[in-house]
Copies of this chain bind each other. A is one copy, B any other.
Protein backbone atom coordinates (compact mmCIF):
# COMPACT_ATOMS: atom_id res chain seq x y z
CA UNK A 1 0.00 0.00 0.00
CA UNK A 2 2.80 2.40 0.91
CA UNK A 3 4.52 2.03 -2.46
CA UNK A 4 1.30 2.69 -4.38
CA UNK A 5 0.67 5.76 -2.25
CA UNK A 6 4.21 7.05 -2.85
CA UNK A 7 3.81 6.79 -6.59
CA UNK A 8 0.57 8.78 -6.32
CA UNK A 9 2.49 11.42 -4.44
CA UNK A 10 5.19 11.43 -7.12
CA UNK A 11 2.52 11.95 -9.74
CA UNK A 12 1.08 14.92 -7.87
CA UNK A 13 4.52 16.43 -7.43
CA UNK A 14 5.12 15.92 -11.13
CA UNK A 15 1.98 17.85 -12.05
CA UNK A 16 3.33 20.61 -9.87
CA UNK A 17 6.28 20.82 -12.20
CA UNK A 18 8.82 20.35 -9.40
CA UNK A 19 11.66 17.86 -9.57
CA UNK A 20 11.50 17.13 -5.86
CA UNK A 21 11.34 13.37 -5.17
CA UNK A 22 8.59 12.32 -2.78
CA UNK A 23 11.23 11.06 -0.36
CA UNK A 24 12.48 14.60 0.15
CA UNK A 25 9.10 16.14 0.78
CA UNK A 26 8.43 16.01 4.45
CA UNK A 27 4.84 15.49 5.58
CA UNK A 28 4.02 19.14 6.23
CA UNK A 29 5.44 20.35 2.89
CA UNK A 30 3.46 17.76 1.00
CA UNK A 31 0.22 18.75 2.73
CA UNK A 32 0.86 22.46 2.10
CA UNK A 33 1.50 21.83 -1.58
CA UNK A 34 -1.66 19.79 -1.89
CA UNK A 35 -3.71 22.45 -0.11
CA UNK A 36 -2.44 25.12 -2.51
CA UNK A 37 -3.52 22.96 -5.43
CA UNK A 38 -6.97 22.47 -3.94
CA UNK A 39 -7.33 26.23 -3.42
CA UNK A 40 -6.30 26.75 -7.07
CA UNK A 41 -9.06 24.32 -8.08
CA UNK A 42 -6.59 21.78 -9.47
CA UNK A 43 -7.62 19.06 -7.03
CA UNK A 44 -10.86 18.14 -5.29
CA UNK A 45 -10.73 17.50 -1.52
CA UNK A 46 -11.13 13.78 -2.32
CA UNK A 47 -8.11 13.94 -4.62
CA UNK A 48 -6.23 15.73 -1.86
CA UNK A 49 -6.78 12.76 0.43
CA UNK A 50 -5.68 10.36 -2.29
CA UNK A 51 -2.53 12.43 -2.78
CA UNK A 52 -1.40 12.32 0.84
CA UNK A 53 -0.73 8.91 2.38
CA UNK A 54 -1.71 8.53 6.03
CA UNK A 55 1.93 7.92 6.95
CA UNK A 56 2.79 11.45 5.77
CA UNK A 57 -0.02 12.94 7.79
CA UNK A 58 1.20 10.97 10.82
CA UNK A 59 4.68 12.44 10.33
CA UNK A 60 3.21 15.90 9.88
CA UNK A 61 1.35 15.54 13.19
CA UNK A 62 4.56 14.73 15.07
CA UNK A 63 7.07 17.08 13.40
CA UNK A 64 10.71 16.07 13.86
CA UNK A 65 12.69 17.89 16.52
CA UNK A 66 16.36 18.34 15.80
CA UNK A 67 18.26 16.39 18.44
CA UNK A 68 21.41 16.06 16.35
CA UNK A 69 23.35 18.55 18.47
CA UNK A 70 22.57 16.73 21.74
CA UNK A 71 24.61 14.01 23.45
CA UNK A 72 22.71 10.74 23.80
CA UNK A 73 22.99 9.32 27.29
CA UNK A 74 20.59 6.33 27.23
CA UNK A 75 18.69 4.19 24.79
CA UNK A 76 15.56 2.09 25.29
CA UNK A 77 12.22 1.33 23.73
CA UNK A 78 10.17 4.23 22.36
CA UNK A 79 6.62 3.62 23.51
CA UNK A 80 4.85 6.97 23.17
CA UNK A 81 5.93 9.33 20.38
CA UNK A 82 6.96 12.97 20.67
CA UNK A 83 9.98 14.89 21.95
CA UNK A 84 10.05 16.85 25.21
CA UNK A 85 12.68 18.49 27.38
CA UNK A 86 12.78 19.24 31.09
CA UNK A 87 14.70 18.78 34.32
CA UNK A 88 15.26 15.22 35.53
CA UNK A 89 13.24 14.24 38.60
CA UNK A 90 13.12 10.87 40.32
CA UNK A 91 9.75 10.64 42.03
CA UNK A 92 6.14 11.53 41.30
CA UNK A 93 6.21 13.99 44.21
CA UNK A 94 9.17 15.86 42.70
CA UNK A 95 7.42 15.98 39.32
CA UNK A 96 4.35 17.56 40.90
CA UNK A 97 6.52 20.04 42.82
CA UNK A 98 8.41 21.02 39.64
CA UNK A 99 5.15 21.57 37.76
CA UNK A 100 3.81 23.71 40.60
CA UNK A 101 7.02 25.78 40.35
CA UNK A 102 6.35 26.22 36.63
CA UNK A 103 9.21 23.97 35.59
CA UNK A 104 8.98 21.28 32.89
CA UNK A 105 10.12 17.98 34.40
CA UNK A 106 11.06 14.57 32.97
CA UNK A 107 10.10 11.78 35.37
CA UNK A 108 12.57 8.88 35.72
CA UNK A 109 11.48 5.73 37.61
CA UNK A 110 12.47 2.03 37.64
CA UNK A 111 8.86 1.43 36.53
CA UNK A 112 5.62 3.29 37.16
CA UNK A 113 2.71 2.07 39.24
CA UNK A 114 -0.85 3.38 39.37
CA UNK A 115 -0.06 5.78 42.21
CA UNK A 116 2.58 7.53 40.08
CA UNK A 117 -0.18 8.93 37.86
CA UNK A 118 -0.22 12.48 39.32
CA UNK A 119 3.54 12.68 38.71
CA UNK A 120 3.18 11.47 35.13
CA UNK A 121 0.44 14.03 34.52
CA UNK A 122 2.63 16.79 35.95
CA UNK A 123 5.74 15.77 33.96
CA UNK A 124 6.30 16.46 30.24
CA UNK A 125 7.77 13.00 29.62
CA UNK A 126 8.42 9.73 31.47
CA UNK A 127 11.40 7.36 31.31
CA UNK A 128 11.28 3.97 33.01
CA UNK A 129 14.14 1.50 33.35
CA UNK A 130 11.82 -1.50 32.89
CA UNK A 131 8.66 -1.96 30.86
CA UNK A 132 7.34 -2.48 27.37
CA UNK A 133 4.74 -1.21 24.93
CA UNK A 134 1.87 -2.15 27.22
CA UNK A 135 3.50 -1.38 30.54
CA UNK A 136 1.70 1.06 32.80
CA UNK A 137 4.07 3.90 31.86
CA UNK A 138 3.52 3.32 28.14
CA UNK A 139 -0.27 3.09 28.27
CA UNK A 140 -0.64 6.18 30.45
CA UNK A 141 1.88 8.22 28.42
CA UNK A 142 0.09 7.48 25.18
CA UNK A 143 -3.21 8.44 26.75
CA UNK A 144 -1.63 11.71 28.00
CA UNK A 145 0.07 12.27 24.65
CA UNK A 146 3.44 12.58 26.43
CA UNK A 147 6.70 11.07 25.14
CA UNK A 148 7.85 7.95 26.97
CA UNK A 149 10.91 5.68 26.76
CA UNK A 150 11.09 2.35 28.64
CA UNK A 151 13.28 -0.74 28.91
CA UNK A 152 16.58 1.13 29.03
CA UNK A 153 19.35 -0.99 27.54
CA UNK A 154 22.30 0.92 28.93
CA UNK A 155 21.25 2.76 32.08
CA UNK A 156 19.62 2.17 35.43
CA UNK A 157 17.37 4.48 37.44
CA UNK A 158 18.59 4.84 41.01
CA UNK A 159 15.52 6.23 42.77
CA UNK A 160 17.26 6.36 46.14
CA UNK A 161 20.38 8.08 44.78
CA UNK A 162 18.01 10.29 42.68
CA UNK A 163 20.01 9.81 39.49
CA UNK A 164 20.33 7.90 36.24
CA UNK A 165 23.50 5.79 36.04
CA UNK A 166 24.62 4.86 32.54
CA UNK A 167 26.69 1.91 31.41
CA UNK A 168 29.31 4.44 30.26
CA UNK A 169 29.71 5.55 33.86
CA UNK A 170 27.81 8.84 33.57
CA UNK A 171 25.59 10.02 36.40
CA UNK A 172 22.64 12.24 35.50
CA UNK A 173 21.47 13.85 38.71
CA UNK A 174 18.27 15.54 39.84
CA UNK A 175 17.72 18.86 38.05
CA UNK A 176 19.83 18.10 34.97
CA UNK A 177 18.13 19.23 31.76
CA UNK A 178 17.38 16.25 29.47
CA UNK A 179 15.40 15.57 26.31
CA UNK A 180 13.34 12.45 25.63
CA UNK A 181 12.49 11.17 22.15
CA UNK A 182 9.53 8.87 22.74
CA UNK A 183 9.56 7.46 19.21
CA UNK A 184 13.24 6.50 19.12
CA UNK A 185 13.30 5.61 22.82
CA UNK A 186 16.35 7.82 23.45
CA UNK A 187 17.36 10.21 26.23
CA UNK A 188 19.71 13.15 25.59
CA UNK A 189 21.56 15.53 27.86
CA UNK A 190 20.43 19.14 27.32
CA UNK A 191 17.61 20.55 25.20
CA UNK A 192 17.29 21.69 21.58
CA UNK A 193 16.89 25.43 20.87
CA UNK A 194 13.49 26.62 22.05
CA UNK A 195 12.44 27.64 18.52
CA UNK A 196 12.36 24.04 17.33
CA UNK A 197 10.17 22.86 20.20
CA UNK A 198 6.38 22.51 20.28
CA UNK A 199 5.67 23.98 16.85
CA UNK A 200 2.00 22.90 17.08
CA UNK A 201 -0.04 21.47 14.24
CA UNK A 202 0.51 23.14 10.88
CA UNK A 203 -2.55 24.97 9.55
CA UNK A 204 -2.51 23.00 6.28
CA UNK A 205 -2.49 19.73 8.20
CA UNK A 206 -5.41 20.93 10.32
CA UNK A 207 -7.26 21.81 7.10
CA UNK A 208 -6.63 18.36 5.61
CA UNK A 209 -7.83 16.61 8.79
CA UNK A 210 -11.00 18.69 8.73
CA UNK A 211 -11.60 17.65 5.10
CA UNK A 212 -11.24 14.00 6.08
CA UNK A 213 -13.53 14.40 9.07
CA UNK A 214 -16.24 15.86 6.84
CA UNK A 215 -16.22 12.96 4.39
CA UNK A 216 -18.15 9.72 4.90
CA UNK A 217 -15.98 7.13 6.65
CA UNK A 218 -16.05 4.25 9.10
CA UNK A 219 -16.87 5.76 12.52
CA UNK A 220 -13.86 6.25 14.78
CA UNK A 221 -14.36 6.28 18.52
CA UNK A 222 -11.89 7.17 21.24
CA UNK A 223 -10.46 5.10 24.09
CA UNK A 224 -11.04 7.46 27.02
CA UNK A 225 -11.19 6.97 30.78
CA UNK A 226 -11.40 10.61 31.86
CA UNK A 227 -13.56 13.60 30.90
CA UNK A 228 -10.40 15.26 29.53
CA UNK A 229 -9.62 12.41 27.14
CA UNK A 230 -13.30 12.16 26.22
CA UNK A 231 -13.39 15.88 25.32
CA UNK A 232 -10.14 15.56 23.38
CA UNK A 233 -11.65 12.70 21.38
CA UNK A 234 -14.94 14.52 20.80
CA UNK A 235 -13.06 17.63 19.63
CA UNK A 236 -11.16 15.45 17.14
CA UNK A 237 -14.44 14.14 15.75
CA UNK A 238 -14.77 10.85 17.64
CA UNK A 239 -18.17 9.21 17.25
CA UNK A 240 -18.25 8.15 20.89
CA UNK A 241 -16.11 6.22 23.36
CA UNK A 242 -15.25 2.71 22.23
CA UNK A 243 -13.36 1.78 25.38
CA UNK A 244 -13.64 3.34 28.83
CA UNK A 245 -11.50 1.21 31.15
CA UNK A 246 -12.75 1.08 34.73
CA UNK A 247 -9.26 0.21 36.02
CA UNK A 248 -7.92 3.42 34.46
CA UNK A 249 -10.58 5.38 36.33
CA UNK A 250 -9.06 4.06 39.56
CA UNK A 251 -5.51 5.32 39.25
CA UNK A 252 -3.64 7.73 41.47
CA UNK A 253 -5.27 8.36 44.83
CA UNK A 254 -8.36 6.45 43.78
CA UNK A 255 -6.32 3.26 43.55
CA UNK A 256 -6.69 2.82 47.30
CA UNK A 257 -10.45 2.50 46.86
CA UNK A 258 -10.11 -0.55 44.68
CA UNK A 259 -7.37 -2.02 46.85
CA UNK A 260 -9.60 -1.78 49.92
CA UNK A 261 -12.44 -3.45 48.04
CA UNK A 262 -10.11 -6.30 47.02
CA UNK A 263 -8.53 -6.61 50.43
CA UNK A 264 -11.34 -6.78 52.89
CA UNK A 265 -13.07 -10.01 53.63
CA UNK A 266 -16.77 -9.88 53.06
CA UNK A 267 -18.30 -8.07 55.99
CA UNK A 268 -19.06 -4.60 57.29
CA UNK A 269 -15.81 -3.01 56.08
CA UNK A 270 -16.36 -4.56 52.63
CA UNK A 271 -19.67 -2.77 52.38
CA UNK A 272 -17.94 0.56 53.13
CA UNK A 273 -15.18 -0.11 50.61
CA UNK A 274 -17.65 -1.09 47.90
CA UNK A 275 -19.85 1.94 48.61
CA UNK A 276 -16.79 4.16 48.21
CA UNK A 277 -15.85 2.39 44.95
CA UNK A 278 -19.37 2.83 43.64
CA UNK A 279 -19.41 6.51 44.56
CA UNK A 280 -16.06 7.23 42.84
CA UNK A 281 -17.14 5.40 39.69
CA UNK A 282 -20.55 7.06 39.63
CA UNK A 283 -18.92 10.49 39.64
CA UNK A 284 -16.51 9.38 36.91
CA UNK A 285 -19.23 7.92 34.69
CA UNK A 286 -21.42 10.99 35.13
CA UNK A 287 -18.61 13.30 34.02
CA UNK A 288 -17.65 11.16 31.00
CA UNK A 289 -21.25 10.56 29.88
CA UNK A 290 -21.88 14.34 30.09
CA UNK A 291 -18.97 15.11 27.81
CA UNK A 292 -20.15 12.45 25.36
CA UNK A 293 -23.83 13.36 25.62
CA UNK A 294 -25.80 11.74 22.79
CA UNK A 295 -22.91 9.51 21.75
CA UNK A 296 -22.23 5.91 22.80
CA UNK A 297 -19.88 5.32 25.74
CA UNK A 298 -18.66 1.74 26.01
CA UNK A 299 -17.64 1.00 29.59
CA UNK A 300 -15.46 -2.05 30.01
CA UNK A 301 -15.78 -3.76 33.38
CA UNK A 302 -12.64 -4.03 35.51
CA UNK A 303 -10.07 -6.07 33.57
CA UNK A 304 -6.70 -5.65 35.31
CA UNK A 305 -5.17 -8.61 37.15
CA UNK A 306 -5.95 -8.20 40.83
CA UNK A 307 -2.34 -8.13 41.95
CA UNK A 308 -1.69 -4.92 39.98
CA UNK A 309 -3.57 -3.10 42.68
CA UNK A 310 -1.80 -4.85 45.52
CA UNK A 311 1.78 -4.34 46.68
CA UNK A 312 4.52 -6.44 45.13
CA UNK A 313 6.23 -8.73 47.64
CA UNK A 314 9.52 -7.21 46.42
CA UNK A 315 8.34 -3.82 47.66
CA UNK A 316 8.15 -5.28 51.15
CA UNK A 317 11.90 -5.84 51.20
CA UNK A 318 12.41 -2.07 50.93
CA UNK A 319 9.68 -0.71 53.14
CA UNK A 320 7.80 -2.91 55.61
CA UNK A 321 4.17 -3.32 54.61
CA UNK A 322 1.19 -4.33 56.73
CA UNK A 323 1.08 -8.12 57.11
CA UNK A 324 -2.57 -8.20 56.02
CA UNK A 325 -1.68 -6.52 52.73
CA UNK A 326 1.22 -8.87 52.04
CA UNK A 327 -0.84 -11.94 52.96
CA UNK A 328 -3.57 -10.97 50.54
CA UNK A 329 -1.03 -10.12 47.82
CA UNK A 330 0.55 -13.55 48.36
CA UNK A 331 -2.84 -15.26 48.26
CA UNK A 332 -3.78 -13.57 45.01
CA UNK A 333 -0.38 -14.21 43.42
CA UNK A 334 -0.70 -15.87 40.03
CA UNK A 335 2.05 -17.57 38.05
CA UNK A 336 0.72 -16.10 34.81
CA UNK A 337 -1.47 -13.13 35.71
CA UNK A 338 -2.27 -12.41 32.07
CA UNK A 339 -4.06 -15.78 32.02
CA UNK A 340 -5.54 -15.35 35.47
CA UNK A 341 -8.58 -13.95 37.27
CA UNK A 342 -9.25 -10.92 35.09
CA UNK A 343 -12.26 -9.33 33.46
CA UNK A 344 -15.46 -11.33 33.59
CA UNK A 345 -13.72 -13.93 35.73
CA UNK A 346 -13.17 -11.37 38.47
CA UNK A 347 -16.81 -10.30 38.06
CA UNK A 348 -17.95 -13.89 38.57
CA UNK A 349 -15.66 -14.65 41.52
CA UNK A 350 -16.31 -11.28 43.20
CA UNK A 351 -19.84 -10.37 42.07
CA UNK A 352 -19.99 -7.51 44.56
CA UNK A 353 -17.30 -5.76 42.48
CA UNK A 354 -19.36 -6.17 39.31
CA UNK A 355 -22.49 -4.94 41.09
CA UNK A 356 -20.67 -1.82 42.32
CA UNK A 357 -19.60 -1.00 38.75
CA UNK A 358 -23.03 -1.64 37.23
CA UNK A 359 -24.85 0.30 39.93
CA UNK A 360 -22.53 3.25 39.42
CA UNK A 361 -23.23 3.21 35.68
CA UNK A 362 -26.99 2.84 36.07
CA UNK A 363 -27.14 5.60 38.69
CA UNK A 364 -25.02 7.98 36.58
CA UNK A 365 -27.29 7.32 33.61
CA UNK A 366 -30.50 7.91 35.57
CA UNK A 367 -29.11 11.09 37.10
CA UNK A 368 -28.19 12.50 33.69
CA UNK A 369 -31.60 11.59 32.28
CA UNK A 370 -33.24 13.48 35.10
CA UNK A 371 -31.11 16.47 34.14
CA UNK A 372 -32.46 16.18 30.59
CA UNK A 373 -29.25 14.78 29.11
CA UNK A 374 -29.00 11.92 26.64
CA UNK A 375 -26.51 9.46 28.14
CA UNK A 376 -25.82 6.36 26.02
CA UNK A 377 -23.83 3.87 28.07
CA UNK A 378 -22.92 0.37 26.90
CA UNK A 379 -21.39 -2.40 29.03
CA UNK A 380 -18.44 -4.29 27.57
CA UNK A 381 -17.54 -7.60 29.22
CA UNK A 382 -13.81 -8.43 28.98
CA UNK A 383 -11.96 -11.79 28.81
CA UNK A 384 -15.08 -13.72 27.84
CA UNK A 385 -14.39 -17.30 26.84
CA UNK A 386 -17.86 -18.84 27.27
CA UNK A 387 -21.29 -17.44 26.29
CA UNK A 388 -22.57 -18.29 29.78
CA UNK A 389 -20.27 -15.62 31.22
CA UNK A 390 -21.92 -12.97 29.10
CA UNK A 391 -25.40 -14.20 30.00
CA UNK A 392 -24.44 -13.97 33.66
CA UNK A 393 -23.39 -10.32 33.41
CA UNK A 394 -26.52 -9.46 31.45
CA UNK A 395 -28.67 -11.06 34.14
CA UNK A 396 -26.78 -9.12 36.80
CA UNK A 397 -27.33 -5.84 34.95
CA UNK A 398 -31.05 -6.57 34.68
CA UNK A 399 -31.12 -7.25 38.42
CA UNK A 400 -29.39 -3.95 39.09
CA UNK A 401 -31.91 -2.11 36.87
CA UNK A 402 -34.76 -3.77 38.76
CA UNK A 403 -33.27 -2.83 42.14
CA UNK A 404 -32.99 0.74 40.90
CA UNK A 405 -36.68 0.63 39.96
CA UNK A 406 -36.10 0.67 36.22
CA UNK A 407 -37.23 -2.37 34.29
CA UNK A 408 -35.18 -3.29 31.24
CA UNK A 409 -36.43 -2.53 27.71
CA UNK A 410 -38.79 -1.78 26.10
CA UNK A 411 -40.33 0.47 28.74
CA UNK A 412 -37.34 1.34 30.89
CA UNK A 413 -33.60 1.72 30.93
CA UNK A 414 -31.90 -0.44 28.35
CA UNK A 415 -28.10 -0.61 28.41
CA UNK A 416 -26.58 -2.68 25.58
CA UNK A 417 -24.27 -5.48 26.73
CA UNK A 418 -21.39 -6.65 24.54
CA UNK A 419 -18.59 -9.20 24.68
CA UNK A 420 -14.97 -8.38 24.18
CA UNK A 421 -13.38 -10.77 21.70
CA UNK A 422 -9.89 -11.17 23.07
CA UNK A 423 -9.54 -14.88 23.90
CA UNK A 424 -9.31 -17.17 20.85
CA UNK A 425 -12.26 -19.09 22.27
CA UNK A 426 -14.48 -16.01 22.14
CA UNK A 427 -13.60 -15.67 18.44
CA UNK A 428 -14.28 -19.36 17.84
CA UNK A 429 -17.66 -19.06 19.60
CA UNK A 430 -18.56 -15.69 18.05
CA UNK A 431 -21.81 -17.04 16.65
CA UNK A 432 -23.03 -18.21 20.06
CA UNK A 433 -21.84 -14.96 21.66
CA UNK A 434 -23.60 -12.89 18.99
CA UNK A 435 -26.90 -14.49 19.96
CA UNK A 436 -26.48 -13.21 23.53
CA UNK A 437 -24.79 -9.88 22.75
CA UNK A 438 -25.93 -6.43 21.62
CA UNK A 439 -22.50 -5.79 20.17
CA UNK A 440 -19.00 -7.28 20.05
CA UNK A 441 -15.68 -5.49 20.42
CA UNK A 442 -12.45 -7.08 19.25
CA UNK A 443 -9.45 -6.42 21.50
CA UNK A 444 -6.49 -6.99 19.24
CA UNK A 445 -3.84 -6.54 21.97
CA UNK A 446 -4.82 -9.53 24.08
CA UNK A 447 -6.07 -11.52 21.10
CA UNK A 448 -2.66 -11.18 19.44
CA UNK A 449 -0.92 -12.17 22.68
CA UNK A 450 -3.02 -15.33 23.08
CA UNK A 451 -2.94 -16.36 19.41
CA UNK A 452 0.87 -16.11 19.40
CA UNK A 453 1.27 -17.33 22.98
CA UNK A 454 3.33 -14.24 23.79
CA UNK A 455 3.39 -11.96 26.80
CA UNK A 456 3.94 -8.59 25.20
CA UNK A 457 5.85 -6.87 27.99
CA UNK A 458 8.33 -9.73 28.19
CA UNK A 459 8.51 -10.39 24.45
CA UNK A 460 9.29 -6.82 23.47
CA UNK A 461 12.38 -6.76 25.63
CA UNK A 462 14.20 -9.69 24.04
CA UNK A 463 12.25 -12.10 21.88
CA UNK A 464 10.61 -9.88 19.27
CA UNK A 465 13.69 -7.72 18.57
CA UNK A 466 15.71 -10.94 18.14
CA UNK A 467 13.08 -12.44 15.84
CA UNK A 468 13.13 -9.34 13.63
CA UNK A 469 16.94 -9.46 13.59
CA UNK A 470 16.93 -13.17 12.65
CA UNK A 471 14.40 -12.56 9.88
CA UNK A 472 11.73 -14.76 11.47
CA UNK A 473 9.42 -11.74 11.65
CA UNK A 474 9.37 -8.47 9.75
CA UNK A 475 7.60 -6.56 12.51
CA UNK A 476 6.24 -7.20 15.97
CA UNK A 477 2.64 -8.47 15.73
CA UNK A 478 1.85 -5.88 18.42
CA UNK A 479 2.99 -3.04 16.15
CA UNK A 480 1.62 -4.24 12.80
CA UNK A 481 -1.55 -6.32 12.89
CA UNK A 482 -0.97 -10.00 12.01
CA UNK A 483 -3.46 -10.44 9.19
CA UNK A 484 -2.42 -14.05 8.49
CA UNK A 485 -2.94 -15.51 11.95
CA UNK A 486 -4.92 -13.18 14.21
CA UNK A 487 -6.65 -11.77 11.12
CA UNK A 488 -8.03 -15.21 10.33
CA UNK A 489 -9.81 -15.21 13.71
CA UNK A 490 -11.07 -11.65 13.20
CA UNK A 491 -12.55 -12.60 9.83
CA UNK A 492 -14.05 -15.75 11.41
CA UNK A 493 -15.56 -13.64 14.20
CA UNK A 494 -17.17 -11.13 11.84
CA UNK A 495 -18.43 -13.77 9.41
CA UNK A 496 -19.91 -16.18 11.95
CA UNK A 497 -21.33 -13.49 14.25
CA UNK A 498 -23.15 -11.92 11.30
CA UNK A 499 -24.66 -15.30 10.45
CA UNK A 500 -26.43 -15.10 13.80
CA UNK A 501 -27.19 -11.34 13.61
CA UNK A 502 -26.56 -9.66 10.24
CA UNK A 503 -26.72 -6.15 11.73
CA UNK A 504 -24.63 -6.78 14.86
CA UNK A 505 -22.24 -3.91 15.57
CA UNK A 506 -18.66 -5.23 15.80
CA UNK A 507 -16.05 -2.73 16.90
CA UNK A 508 -12.32 -3.00 17.43
CA UNK A 509 -10.42 -1.31 20.22
CA UNK A 510 -6.84 -2.56 20.21
CA UNK A 511 -3.87 -0.33 19.57
CA UNK A 512 -3.77 -1.50 15.97
CA UNK A 513 -6.81 0.74 15.42
CA UNK A 514 -4.35 3.65 15.54
CA UNK A 515 -2.03 2.20 12.88
CA UNK A 516 -3.03 3.51 9.42
CA UNK A 517 -2.09 0.43 7.31
CA UNK A 518 -4.14 -1.75 9.67
CA UNK A 519 -7.11 0.63 9.52
CA UNK A 520 -7.53 -0.24 5.85
CA UNK A 521 -7.53 -3.96 6.62
CA UNK A 522 -10.09 -3.54 9.41
CA UNK A 523 -12.45 -1.57 7.17
CA UNK A 524 -12.30 -4.34 4.58
CA UNK A 525 -12.90 -7.00 7.23
CA UNK A 526 -16.36 -5.50 7.78
CA UNK A 527 -15.98 -3.91 11.21
CA UNK A 528 -18.55 -1.37 12.34
CA UNK A 529 -16.22 1.08 14.07
CA UNK A 530 -12.69 1.47 15.35
CA UNK A 531 -11.63 2.91 18.69
CA UNK A 532 -8.16 4.31 19.42
CA UNK A 533 -6.35 6.48 21.96
CA UNK A 534 -7.06 10.26 21.88
CA UNK A 535 -3.87 11.32 20.06
CA UNK A 536 -4.57 8.74 17.32
CA UNK A 537 -8.17 9.79 16.56
CA UNK A 538 -7.18 12.30 13.83
CA UNK A 539 -4.86 9.90 11.99
CA UNK A 540 -7.25 6.95 12.27
CA UNK A 541 -10.09 9.15 10.99
CA UNK A 542 -7.85 10.30 8.15
CA UNK A 543 -6.89 6.72 7.24
CA UNK A 544 -10.56 5.62 7.30
CA UNK A 545 -11.69 8.58 5.17
CA UNK A 546 -8.79 8.12 2.75
CA UNK A 547 -9.68 4.45 2.41
CA UNK A 548 -13.28 5.43 1.56
CA UNK A 549 -12.17 7.75 -1.27
CA UNK A 550 -9.47 5.43 -2.67
CA UNK A 551 -11.30 2.09 -2.59
CA UNK A 552 -13.31 1.11 -5.68
CA UNK A 553 -17.07 1.76 -5.39
Contact = CB atoms under 8 A, between A and B. Distances in A.
Interface of A: 313-314, 334-341, 345, 348-349, 383, 385-386, 388-389, 392, 422-425, 428-429, 446, 449-455, 457-459, 462-463, 466-467, 470-473, 482, 484-486, 488-489
A357 to B, nearest CB: 19
Given A334-B458, A424-B424, A463-B349, A339 B472 contact: no
Contact of A385 (B349, B423, B485): B485
Contacts of A349: 462-463, 466
Nearest to A482: B425
Top 3 A-B pairs, shortest CB-CB distance: A336-B455, A339-B455, A423-B453
Each complex incorporates copies of this chain amounting to 2
Contacts of A313: 314
Nearest to A389: B472
Given A383-B453, A428-B489, A484-B429, A471 B388 contact: yes
Given A429-B485, A463-B341, A335 B470 contact: no
Contacts of A422: 453
Contacts of A386: 472-473
A339 B341 contact: no
B383 A340 contact: no
Contacts of A489: 424, 428
Given A336-B336, A462-B341, A472-B389, A451 B429 contact: no
Contacts of A457: 335
A340 B458 contact: yes
B335 A335 contact: no
Contacts of A470: 348, 392
Given A334-B458, A458-B334, A466-B348, A452 B425 contact: yes
Given A334-B455, A335-B458, A345-B463, 15 more contacts: A334-B458, A335-B337, A336-B336, A336-B337, A338-B339, A339-B339, A339-B459, A340-B463, A383-B453, A385-B452, A388-B471, A388-B473, A423-B451, A423-B453, A450-B450
Contacts of A459: 339-340
A314 B473 CA distance: 36
A88 to B, nearest CB: 26
Nearest to A314: B313
A445 to B, nearest CB: 12
Which of A336, A337, A452, A466 is the most central at the interface, judged by chain B CB atoms within 10 Å of its CB?
A336
Contacts of A339: 336, 338-339, 449, 453-455, 458-459
Contact of A428 (B429, B463, B471, B485): B485
5 contacts: A336-B336, A336-B455, A339-B455, A348-B466, A425-B486
Contact of A488 (B334, B428, B451): B428
A183 to B, nearest CB: 25
A348 B457 CA distance: 19
A527 to B, nearest CB: 19
A345 B466 CA distance: 10
A335 B338 contact: yes
A491 to B, nearest CB: 11
Nearest to A486: B425
A543 B244 CA distance: 51
Contacts of A340: 455, 458-459, 463
Contacts of A462: 341, 349
B389 A348 contact: no
A453 B450 contact: yes
A451 B472 contact: no
A154 to B, nearest CB: 15
Contacts of A389: 472
A451 to B, nearest CB: 5
A336 B424 contact: no
Contacts of A314: 313
Nearest to A332: B462
Contacts of A428: 451, 484-485, 488-489
Nearest to A484: B429
A460 to B, nearest CB: 12
A484 B386 CA distance: 10
A522 to B, nearest CB: 18
A182 to B, nearest CB: 23
Nearest to A456: B339
Contact of A336 (B345, B385, B392, B458): B458
A10 to B, nearest CB: 33
B472 A450 contact: no
Contacts of A484: 428-429
A335 B338 CA distance: 8
A210 B341 CA distance: 46
A449 B451 CA distance: 11
Contacts of A383: 453
A353 to B, nearest CB: 14
A42 to B, nearest CB: 47
Contacts of A392: 470, 472
A425 B449 contact: no
